[in-house]
Amino acid sequence: MEKDNKLPIHKLFLKYFLPQLLSFFVISFYVVIDAAFVKKYVGVDALAGVNLAFPIMQFIIGISLMVGIGTSTVIGIELGKGDIKEASRVYSMMIFVSAILSVLFMPLLNLISQVMYANSNVGPEVIEQARVYSNILILTTPIWVVSQYFLSVARAIGKPMAASIVIITGNILNIIFDYILLDKFNMGVEGAVIATGSSAAFVLIIGIFIVGNKRIKFTKFKLEAKRVWGILYNGFSDLVAECSYGLTQLIFLYSVSIYAGKDGVVALGLINYLSNFLVLTIYGMAVSVQPIISYNHGANNAQKINEVKNFVLKWSTVIGTIFFVIMNVFIYDFVKLFGIVKVNIIELAINAARLYAPLLILVGYNSVYISYYTAIEDARTSAIFSILKGLIFVIIGIIILPGFLGLDGVWLTFLFSEVVTAVCIYFVNLTKKARLIVKNS
């Protein structure tokens, strides 16, 4: 990282962003292909079931990010200070913590899935497909959490491209496994989730080997509860962001099913698949600079931090505006990829996309600042913004907007949340700058 930090801003950003973008692109592409396989070989009910189980995956990703980003942020800061011994100790201790934590979360995930399906209005066939998918997915939680831990650490120590290559390879294997298990062995939804778990296992095995190097390595450690709590707390905003998204998806699934039944659930899934690719690209810009900001925070290089932050703020807004246009223009072509012929589903998806798309312009601003506060270990501010954006404002929106606008109000809820969050972040930043000026005067 020390050598990388001397690069010009645009080159430093591209070195960390392009691998992140590539891996996110492949993940998004895999999700679309996975859904297409399910639709083709198992049917619309199975696709609706996978969509219904989608929040469980978000919860698992949230746990992974809490451990991975929390640890990688601390490791980046320690490397910025030049304390390689402490960085190695933290790395070693959190391997153990990530494994134990993932197992402890499994019963909670199972409980959430049971409550979720008991309150769904989509029919017994769809619920059964969702139940099968999530039951197997929950069993793979430790594989997901530990594998993502190693990949986060790999980026923190300056190996972003190696981490992305592993992700890309794992997801290509996932697509191959999908084809074999669904087409050749006719395993249905079980085949799709087994393919996902198998690819995650591959990522875990390879991830172990790409992290170890001369700078950071596994060493003896003493489990320190206070230190562990600090690391997890620092990654808490990422857990909140993903779990809030999962919770709001449950609310959305329930709300959409009331207004549009199973067709609405399918349409919501289609919007999720497309928006995940677009939003993940912008989110990847924010996440990719976290190791850079953490390193410079440890080295007390405020000028570099501001240069990086301002650069990514500008370009995330530009990319978001381009994606806004893409989502409006190409939504119909995207829906056709799934072989959807029912006119009601197509119309629901197109209308939803056009109401959802404007948030792409704002999501970069919000994501960059949430990631920035995590990177400088201001976990409280980061977590507050994550909770507001991902849960509180969404709940407020879903309570108020549908009452006036019906189903359109449901689709507009995420835009409402992004707009109000951006306003809050803007005024909080003004307040923090004012306090800093007073302190230094």
- 134-186 residue pLDDT tens: 899 899 999 988 988 888 888 778 787 788 788 788 878 888 898 899 888 88
Say how many domains are in the chain.
1
- Six-digit token pair at 191? 């085949």
- In the prediction, which pLDDT does 139 show? 92
- Six-digit token pair at 417? 């949340």
Residue that wins the pLDDT comparison between 5 and 309: 309
What mean pLDDT do residues 328-355 have? Answer: 80
**Model pLDDT for residues 293-326, shown as the tens digit of each residue:** 887 887 788 888 888 888 888 888 888 899 888 8
- In the prediction, which pLDDT does 152 show? 82
Of the spans 263-277, 352-366, 411-425, which averages the highest pLDDT? 411-425
User: Do the Cβ atoms of 22 and 170 come closer than 8 Å?
Assistant: no
What mean pLDDT do residues 97-104 have? Answer: 92
Lowest mean pLDDT among 7-21, 76-90, 323-337: 7-21
What mean pLDDT do residues 76-99 have? Answer: 87
- In the prediction, which pLDDT does 188 show? 83
What is the Cβ-side half-sphere exposure of residue 275, based on CA atoms within 13 angstroms?
23
CA distances from 234 to 55, 373, 380, 383 (A): 23, 9, 8, 9
Indicate if the pLDDT at residue 281 is higher than 60: yes
Residue that wins the pLDDT comparison between 238 and 88: 88
- In the prediction, which pLDDT does 63 show? 85
Indicate if the pLDDT at residue 101 is higher than 70: yes
Residues with Cβ within 8 Å of 30's Cβ and at least 6 positions away in sequence, in order, are 171, 174, 175
- In the prediction, which pLDDT does 106 show? 94
Per cent of the chain over pLDDT 90 is 7
- In the prediction, which pLDDT does 438 show? 46
Closest CA to 207 of 276, 136, 156: 156
User: Do the Cβ atoms of 155 and 16 come closer than 8 Å?
Assistant: yes
pLDDT band at 14 (very low <50, low <70, confident <90, very high): low
User: Do the Cβ atoms of 49 and 133 come closer than 8 Å?
Assistant: yes
- In the prediction, which pLDDT does 97 show? 92
- In the prediction, which pLDDT does 93 show? 92
- In the prediction, which pLDDT does 435 show? 62
pLDDT band at 19 (very low <50, low <70, confident <90, very high): low
Indicate if the pLDDT at residue 2 is higher than 60: no
Distance CA 407, CA 404 (A): 9
Residues with Cβ within 8 Å of 276's Cβ and at least 6 positions away in sequence, in order, are 28, 31
pLDDT band at 419 (very low <50, low <70, confident <90, very high): very high
- In the prediction, which pLDDT does 407 show? 81
CA distances from 139 to 156, 219, 242, 398 (A): 28, 29, 19, 32
Handedness of CA 190, 193, 199, 200 (dihedral sign): negative
- In the prediction, which pLDDT does 138 show? 93
Indicate if the pLDDT at residue 270 is higher than 60: yes
Residue 426 has a CB neighbour count (10 Å cut-off) of: 12
Handedness of CA 111, 116, 119, 124 (dihedral sign): negative
Instruction: Look up residue 358 and give its DSSP letter.
Output: T
User: Do the Cβ atoms of 320 and 363 come closer than 8 Å?
Assistant: yes
What mean pLDDT do residues 372-380 have? Answer: 81
Question: Which one-letter amino acid corresponds to residue 275?
Answer: S
What mean pLDDT do residues 400-424 have? Answer: 88
pLDDT band at 87 (very low <50, low <70, confident <90, very high): confident
**Model pLDDT for residues 45-60, shown as the tens digit of each residue:** 887 788 778 778 878 8
Indicate if the pLDDT at residue 352 is higher than 50: yes
**Average pLDDT of every residue of the chain:** 80
Distance CA 292, CA 376 (A): 10
Distance CA 334, CA 338 (A): 8
**Model pLDDT for residues 108-120, shown as the tens digit of each residue:** 999 988 887 876 6
**Model pLDDT for residues 246-264, shown as the tens digit of each residue:** 677 677 777 777 777 777 7
- In the prediction, which pLDDT does 107 show? 94
Domain that residue 139 falls in: 4-440
Closest CA to 278 of 362, 350, 211: 362
Distance CA 127, CA 52 (A): 8
Strands (E), 342-440: none
Distance CA 337, CA 343 (A): 15
